A and B are shown apart, each in its own frame.
Chain A
C-alpha cells in the first residue's frame, strides 16, 4: 500500500505483549499455540475441590517480583501485575521508549470484565474476619475495573486519552477499537488490549453464576466448542496488550508492523424472548464494511467459541450466512487457554497477527466438530495458508457482540 491518503487513517500494531495459560511471553505462547499445546489444568490458585468446576487456564511461571519494582507489588492484583508486565513487553517489542515521548502523546485503553477480584477477596476477608483496620488502603483502587489502565498510565507516564471498557468477553475488541479512535484523533501512541485474571474462590462463584462453565475434570474433554459434546467453557487468565500507532508514523520511525486494525463493529443482541436475530451476523458485516472488505477478502476466522450449544449454533449460523457453509477456515486456539474474559479476544488478535506473519492457522484442539454446524474448523494440526486478513469474534455475557478485522499492512 503506498497511497498516502489511506495511510493517514490507518492504525497499525507495532508491539505485542502476551501472558497466556499456554505460554508466558509472545514467543512461548505462539510456539505452544502453533503446536496445539494446551495450558488447561486443575486450578492451583485456590483449592477447587469443593466447587462444581475445577479446571482453568492459569498463566505458568509468572513471578511478579522478577518483573516489577517492589513499590508496585503490595498495591496490585494479579491481573494488574500481568498487565503491567505485558505492557512493558509490548512497548519494548515496539521499540517505544515512553520516557522519550511527551506524556500527552501516549494513551492507554484496556478492557476488564471483573477488576481485581483476588485482591478484593483478600481485603473483604480481612474486613469480616479481623476488622476494618486490617483492610489495605490500596483496596481503594486495586479492585477497580480501570486499574490496569491507570497503573499502566502511571508507570509509563502516559497522560493522553485513556479509558477502560467493560463488556465481558467483547471488551477486549471494544478497547482496541477505542484506542484506534484515539490514534485517528491524533494521539501518536496507544497501549491497548486486555488482561483479566480472576481465578480465586470469589471470582470462581461469579463465573459459575453464568451457567456456562464446564464441570468436566478431563482437560482434553472440558472445552469443546462446535462439538456435539460441548458442555460449557473453561475459564482462563491472561490476555494480550498492544502498542498501536498511526501507520505512516510507524513507518517513518522504521517500526516493525504486525498488521493493521482494519475494521471493527459492535452490536447488542435483541432482548431475549423478542424473537429478533442475534446481533453477531450484523456485527461481522459491519466490521467487514468498516474494513472495506468483502467476505472473500477474509482468510480465516478466530471464533468466539462459547462451547454452549445454543451460542455455538448462533455463531455457526452467522458465519454460514456471511461466508457460506464451510466457506472459510475457522479456528479457536482458545481451546488451549480457556476463555480469558476481556483478555480472550486480544489474545486472538495477537494470534491472528502472528498467523498472518507466519502463514499458518493455529489449530482448535480436542474438538470433533459437529457436521451440522457446517464449519471448516481447523482441528488437530496447524494449517499452512497464505493469510492477509483475519476476522476475530467476541461475545460477552448479556448480549455484547464485537468483531474486528486485522490485515497485513
Chain B
C-alpha cells in the first residue's frame, strides 16, 4: 500500500477550512515550530481541526494527542505515526 503522509500544506488547509486564519499571522511562513497558540488557534480550534483530520484520514487522535502537540511539527508527527498504524493494519 502506498505510504500516506500528512503534510504541513494539508494541515494548513484543514486549519483554514475549519477554524479560519488569524489576520496578523502568515500561515505560509515558517510555522512548523510556532506554537498553535501563537498562530491564533485555541484549544477549541484544535479540537475542530483534530476532528476533521480524524474523519478525512480515518485515524483516531483523541484529546490527549492534541494536548501533546503544541506545534504543527508535533501534530504532523502524531498524525503520521497514526497513519502508519492504519496502513500496517
Contacts and interface: CB of A to CB of B under 8 A. Distances in A.
Contact of B19 (A71, A134, A140): A71
B89 interface: no
Contact of A137 (B17, B51, B55): B51
B48 A137 contact: yes
B44 interface: yes
16 contacts: A69-B20, A69-B21, A71-B23, A72-B20, A74-B48, A75-B19, A75-B44, A133-B54, A134-B51, A136-B48, A136-B51, A137-B44, A137-B47, A137-B48, A137-B51, A138-B44
Given A71-B19, A71-B20, A71-B23, 18 more contacts: A69-B20, A69-B21, A69-B22, A69-B23, A70-B20, A70-B21, A71-B21, A71-B40, A71-B45, A72-B20, A74-B17, A74-B48, A75-B44, A133-B54, A136-B51, A137-B51, A138-B44, A140-B44
Nearest to B25: A71
Contacts of A71: 19-23, 40, 45
A85 to B, nearest CB: 16
Contacts of A134: 51, 55
A140 B44 CA distance: 9
Contacts of A137: 44, 47-48, 51
B1 to A, nearest CB: 24
A73 B21 CA distance: 10
Contacts of A138: 44, 48
Interface string A60-81: 0000000001111111000000
B69 interface: no
Interface in B35-79: 40, 44-45, 47-48, 51, 54-55
Given A133-B51, A133-B55, A137-B51, A70 B16 contact: yes
Contacts of B40: 71
Q: Which A-B residue pairs are the 4 nearest by beta carbons?
A: A70-B20, A71-B20, A137-B47, A137-B48
B30 to A, nearest CB: 21
A74 B45 CA distance: 10
A207 to B, nearest CB: 30
B24 to A, nearest CB: 10
Interface string A121-140: 00000000000011011101
A134 B55 CA distance: 8
Interface string B22-34: 1100000000000
B18 interface: yes
For this complex, into which size category does the number of interface residues on chain B fall? Answer: 10 to 19
A55 B48 CA distance: 36
A73 B44 contact: no
A218 to B, nearest CB: 42
A75 B55 CA distance: 19
A136 B51 CA distance: 8
Contacts of A72: 20
Nearest to B46: A137
Nearest to A70: B20
Contacts of B45: 71
Contacts of B18: 74, 136
Contacts of A140: 44
Contacts of A133: 51, 54-55
B47 A73 contact: no
A75 B22 CA distance: 13
A74 B19 contact: yes
B70 to A, nearest CB: 18
A138 B49 CA distance: 11
Interface string A248-278: 0000000000000000000000000000000
Contacts of B17: 74
A245 to B, nearest CB: 29
A75 B45 CA distance: 9
Nearest to B42: A71
Contacts of B16: 70
Nearest to A136: B48
A132 to B, nearest CB: 10
A365 to B, nearest CB: 40
A71 B20 CA distance: 4
Choose among A133, A136, A137, A138 the residue with the greatest number of B CB atoms under 10 Å from its CB. Answer: A137
A71 B49 CA distance: 13
A200 to B, nearest CB: 21
Interface string A299-310: 000000000000
Nearest to B49: A137
